[in-house]
Amino acid sequence: MTGLADRMPSGRATRPEGINAPLLRRAARQEGIGFALLSLPGVIVVVLVLVLPMAWLFWMSAFDNAGNLSLENYERMLRPIYQRTFTTTFRIAFVVSIACGVLAYPIAYLMAQSGPRLSMLLMLCVMLPFWTSVLVRTYAWLVLLQRTGLINAALMDLGLISEPLALVHNELGTIIGMVHVMLPFMILPLYASMKAIDPALLLAAANCGATPAQGFRQVYLPQTFSGLASGISLVFVMCLGFFVTPVLLGGGRVSMWAQQISDNISLYGNWGAASSLGVVLVLCTAFVLGGMRMALAQIEKRGR
């Protein structure tokens, strides 16, 4: 009996049997085509508005300004000015993703461990910045961190400093703003992975004589690695191509990858340079995300 009973829960057709099989198969095929057609309008939009221009950029990156096939655009990336952009970008992305991991862990942990009220309150604290426009938050940081801003004023009033600190229009300001923008993206997957941990495991660890610290280190922490890893790599990748906050808080002094791409178009009209930078950015993104997926699959396999 592989009939109705198996097929009801998922609603997905099984291979038809018996005398009407050819007819049923044809009906299933027609139905399948109908379902595919449902996604067609969406597919057209994504292909036309995303895949096509991306393919165009990839294509353009392989030609020099005279229109000849060449690697000129990729060789240009070895120049010191681009090297500096790459090192800045990777350094900032690294610092921001580690900082996000460190800040996200305690808050996600408390959210997962405490009662409904506290965890709801903390969730609201995460959702407010999550839903607030990046522009608004970047603007707020600009105002907070500027020379006459709240932080400098408070530090001077307390007598801790006599001169205002340079907190913005530099790498420090960029990093602070980016951590604020990225933190919710780190907390949410981490919280999900912590919520999935069976509390009985910690009880069992304690029963076996583990101190709370041992229980946390040896039982709890390893189970959050996958959430931590996926959050960190997500944040890392988003940092690599991030435009708004570095431009506004870097004040033109922190040249990250996305700004370099944008400058090549709006200042120099150099499509070859911009597109080759873009191609490498996409490849880096795919590499990090793909690597993370493979690593997670490995962890899962070992866990079984």
Partner 1 sequence: MLSDPVTPTQITRGQRLWLYALVTLIALFLVVPCLLVIPMSFSGGTYLEFPPKSLSLRWYQAFLGSPEWRQATLTSLKSAGLTTVIATVLGTAAAWGIHQRSTVFSQGLRGLFMLPMLVPLILVAIGLFFLFSRLGLNGTLTGLVLAHTMLAIPFVVIAVGNGLSSYDMSQHMVAQSLGANGLVAFFTVTLPQIRISVLSGAVFAFITSFDEVVVGLFIASGSNETLARRMFSNIRDQVDPTVAAISSLLVGMVVIGMAVFMILQPKAKR
State which of positions 161-200 bind partner 1 (CB under 8 A): 180, 183-184, 199
By beta-carbon proximity to partner 1, the closer residue of 20 and 132 is 132
Task: Enumerate residues 133-162 that contact partner 1 by CB under 8 A.
Answer: 133-144, 146, 148-150, 153
149 CB-contact burial (10 Å; exposed 0-12 / middle 13-18 / buried 19+): middle
By beta-carbon proximity to partner 1, the closer residue of 125 and 165 is 125
Q: Could you give the CA distance from residue 83 to residue 47 in angstroms, rounded to a whole number?
A: 33
The nearest distance, CB 303 to partner 1, in angstroms, is 22
Extract the tokens encoding 120.
Answer: 């709801």
3-state secondary structure of 49: helix
By beta-carbon proximity to partner 1, the closer residue of 77 and 244 is 244
By beta-carbon proximity to partner 1, the closer residue of 46 and 299 is 46
Please tell me what DSSP assigns to residue 241.
Answer: T
By beta-carbon proximity to partner 1, the closer residue of 273 and 302 is 273
Amino acid type, 69: L
Q: How many residues bind partner 1 (CB under 8 A)?
A: 90
Task: Enumerate residues 44-83 that contact partner 1 by CB under 8 A.
Answer: 45-54, 56-57
Q: Could you give the CA distance from residue 190 to residue 93 in angstroms, rounded to a whole number?
A: 19
Among 1, 2, 10, 269, binds partner 1 (CB under 8 A): 10
Extract the tokens encoding 172.
Answer: 């420090």
Tokens 């992305």, residue located: 93
The nearest distance, CB 83 to partner 1, in angstroms, is 19
Among 1, 2, 9, 67, binds partner 1 (CB under 8 A): 9
Among 8, 69, 160, 267, binds partner 1 (CB under 8 A): 8
Going residue by residue from 83 to 122, which x/- string records binding to partner 1, judged by CB under 8 A? --------------------x--xx-xx--xx-------x
Establish if 282 lies at the interface with partner 1 (CB under 8 A): yes
Task: Enumerate residues 241-270 that contact partner 1 by CB under 8 A.
Answer: 241, 243-244, 247-248, 258, 261-262, 265
Task: Enumerate residues 11-30 that contact partner 1 by CB under 8 A.
Answer: 11-12
Nearest 5°: the CA angle 220, 222, 224 is 75
The nearest distance, CB 302 to partner 1, in angstroms, is 25
CA dihedral 187, 88, 138, 252 (to 10 degrees): -170
Question: What separation in angstroms does the CA of 46 have from each of 41, 42, 58, 61, 134?
Answer: 9, 6, 17, 22, 24
CA 214 to chain centre: 31
By beta-carbon proximity to partner 1, the closer residue of 138 and 224 is 138
Extract the tokens encoding 301.
Answer: 């396999």
Question: What separation in angstroms does the CA of 147 have from each of 100, 124, 168, 179, 215?
Answer: 26, 31, 8, 20, 46
By beta-carbon proximity to partner 1, the closer residue of 209 and 302 is 209
